[in-house]
């Protein structure tokens, strides 16, 4: 094992020396990629060295057994990677020299552990390794903790700002919607009022629904809108109109026919299931109208055949089949 560790130690030292020498040349490596190619090998070799020492339980200066020693090695690797990354900035010579020394200090600590028995007093080697590696590990994990804290704080601030902006936007939209609704003339057509029954503003939504519920000749107006392919009328009957009469059946049947033609392509779609929310109102309204005595079976049958052939719409097909 000592032979392996010594080989890795020497290779790590040589690659670190070469990386330091090359990055100090006037020309330097070719851009950031060249720099990373130079630091990759020493970083990798030192990591292998540290993990081997920790895995073999050779970091005796760390209490708590091998698991804690591995955590110590991870903390050292964190600060090693940080030093290499930060050293890309050469504008501060003093900081650059300090960062350059990090891998060498780590190698000295590793060498002390590997050759501990060659010291006249092995405790000296343990102290050297403990000071160099232990302090580096503490700095590494401290750096991680500070980084995590800053990241969480920034994320919380961003989320708070995003939520505040969302609330401000919602208030703006509601105010615009409220003004638009108030601007509707008393004789506005039903189609215009239906555009507000799902509004953001609770006040507008409630007033618009109440206005539609008391609309004179509501069913005749809905029939006209259904024939005009008005989606607001479809959704109103499907979701809000509690008991639409059988009188709507012919217009609803015509709506089912022209929608069938438009949606015929879903049988060829790979993700037809994503269309379910678009399609369901057609059949929710049909169910209400049939319960009132209307007969839409002739229009629903081809819909069942289409849904049965479409991927992911078996549940919707079953609900349509129940109405046949």
pLDDT in tens, 82-128: 766 655 555 656 556 666 677 777 778 788 778 777 777 777 777 88
* pTM for the whole structure: 0.56
Q: d(Cα 158, Cα 111) in Å, to the nearest integer? A: 46
Find, among 296, 301, 180, the residue nearest to 246 by Cα: 296
Q: Work out the average pLDDT over 46-58.
A: 77
Q: What is the pLDDT of residue 9?
A: 73
Tell me the pLDDT tens digit for each residue of 242-278: 999 999 999 999 999 999 999 999 999 999 999 999 9
Residue 315: pLDDT over 50 = yes
Tell me the pLDDT tens digit for each residue of 12-28: 778 777 766 665 554 44
Residue 140: pLDDT over 60 = yes
Taking the CA atoms of 146, 148, 149 and 150 in sequence, report the sign of the dihedral they define. Answer: positive
Q: What is the pLDDT of residue 313?
A: 92
Residue 307: pLDDT over 60 = yes
- Flag the least confident range among 34-38, 182-186, 207-211, 226-230: 34-38
Q: Which residues of 271-285 are buried (b: 16+ CB within 10 A; e: fewer)?
A: ebbebeeebebbbeb
- Flag the least confident range among 44-53, 268-277, 312-321: 44-53
Q: Work out the average pLDDT over 146-161.
A: 80
Q: d(Cα 59, Cα 51) in Å, to the nearest integer? A: 10
Q: d(Cα 238, Cα 198) in Å, to the nearest integer? A: 13
pLDDT above 70 covers a percentage of the chain that reads 86
Of 31 and 59, the one with more pLDDT: 59
Find, among 134, 145, 25, the residue nearest to 73 by Cα: 134
Q: d(Cα 302, Cα 279) in Å, to the nearest integer? A: 14
Q: What is the pLDDT of residue 223?
A: 94
Q: d(Cα 233, Cα 212) in Å, to the nearest integer? A: 11
DSSP annotation of 121? S
Q: d(Cα 312, Cα 319) in Å, to the nearest integer? A: 14
Q: What is the pLDDT of residue 87?
A: 57
Band (31; pLDDT cuts 50, 70, 90):
very low
Specify the 3-state DSSP secondary structure of 295: coil
Contact (CB, 8 A) for 88 and 47: no
Tell me the pLDDT tens digit for each residue of 218-232: 999 999 999 999 999
Average pLDDT, the chain: 81
């Amino acid at each position: 094992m000592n032979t392996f560790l010594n080989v890795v130690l020497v290779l790590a030292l040589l690659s670190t020396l070469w990386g330091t020498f090359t990055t100090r040349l006037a020309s330097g490596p070719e851009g950031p990629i060249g720099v990373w190619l130079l630091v990759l090998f020493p970083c990798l070799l030192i990591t292998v060295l540290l993990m081997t020492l920790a895995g073999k339980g050779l970091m005796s200066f760390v209490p708590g057994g091998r698991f804690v020693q591995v955590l110590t090695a991870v903390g050292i690797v964190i600060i090693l990677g940080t030093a290499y990354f930060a050293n890309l900035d050469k504008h501060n010579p003093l900081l650059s020299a300090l960062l350059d020394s990090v891998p060498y200090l780590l190698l000295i600590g590793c060498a002390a552990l590997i050759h501990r028995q060659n010291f006249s007093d092995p405790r000296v080697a343990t102290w050297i390794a403990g000071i160099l590696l232990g302090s580096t590990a503490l700095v590494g994990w401290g750096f991680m903790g500070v980084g995590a804290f800053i990241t969480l704080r920034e994320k919380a601030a961003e989320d708070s700002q995003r939520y505040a902006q969302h609330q401000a936007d919602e208030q703006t939209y509601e105010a615009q919607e409220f003004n638009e609704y108030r601007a509707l003339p008393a004789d506005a057509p039903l189609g215009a009022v239906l555009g507000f029954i799902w509004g953001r503003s609770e006040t507008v939504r409630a007033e618009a629904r109440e206005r539609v519920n008391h609309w004179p000749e509501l069913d005749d107006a809905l029939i006209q809108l259904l024939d005009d392919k008005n989606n607001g009328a479809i959704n109103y009957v499907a979701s809000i109109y509690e008991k639409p009469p059988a009188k709507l059946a012919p217009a609803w049947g015509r709506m089912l026919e022209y929608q069938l033609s438009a949606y015929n392509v879903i049988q060829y779609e790979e993700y037809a299931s994503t269309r379910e929310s678009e399609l369901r109102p057609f059949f929710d309204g049909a169910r209400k109208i049939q319960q009132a005595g209307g007969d839409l079976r002739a229009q629903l049958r081809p819909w069942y055949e289409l849904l049965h052939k479409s991927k992911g719409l078996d549940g919707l097909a079953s609900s349509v089949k129940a109405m046949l």
